[in-house]
Amino acid sequence: MAVDELTLRADEATRCAEDATRRLEDRYESHLERQRTESVSRRRFRTLVGRIQRTGAPYGVHTLVSRPTGEILLVRHGGIDRWVLPGGGIDPGESFLETARRELAEEAGIEACYDGLAMLTRIDLRTSGYRMRGILPVFAARAETTTPRISDPDGEISAAEWFETLPEETRDRAALRACRAHTL
């Protein structure tokens, strides 16, 4: 049986994600672990292979930031028209935590004290005949400034607001609820 280039790249990507998982688990002890499976188009799969090969994380890094009142910060992402945790792609040479800090500053203008890893989701990605694994790290943080200021260079974020109750149009509500319960 012949093995094609995409299979080899997907296998390498999975190894990169497993290495990133081990590094995070060695550094951060108490975090929620989740698993999800996504089916994507072949084109999207190819894009995500490259991201996972570089960092282990197809969708970057996110931050669950809260205020002392228990409210959490969400940003409105124009590309998916949903409320999401602030976060995004990893720049070359950045650690996961550095990415989380930068993305929080860009998307919401909030400074925060980071408490560690809140949740690590293992994502099984599939497309016709191919599969690989990536990870999605979510860090927990406490807000030091609470007035959002968006300075998103990508122009994807249209709003940043504090919420006591998650809005209906929040992406990954169940995972976010579980993560919130685990950290607050």
Q: What is d(CA 23, CA 19) in angstroms, rounded to the nearest whole number?
A: 6
Query: Cβ(19)–Cβ(56) under 8 Å?
Result: yes
CATH superfamily of 5-183: Nucleoside Triphosphate Pyrophosphohydrolase (3.90.79.10)
Could you tell me the CA-to-CA distances from 55 to 20, 138, 145 in Å, in that order? 7, 15, 29
Whether the predicted pLDDT of 2 surpasses 70: no
Nearest CA to 19 out of 46, 48, 52 is that of 52
Give how far the C-alpha of residue 149 lies from the chain's centroid of Cα atoms, to the nearest Å: 21
Beta bridge partners of 72: 66, 163
In the chain, what percentage of residues exceed pLDDT 70?
98
Query: For residue 157, what pLDDT band results from cuts at 50, 70 and 90?
Result: very high
pLDDT tens by residue, 35-90 = 999 999 999 999 999 999 999 999 999 999 999 998 999 999 988 899 999 999 99
Q: Is 114 helix (H, G, I), strand (E, B) or coil?
A: strand
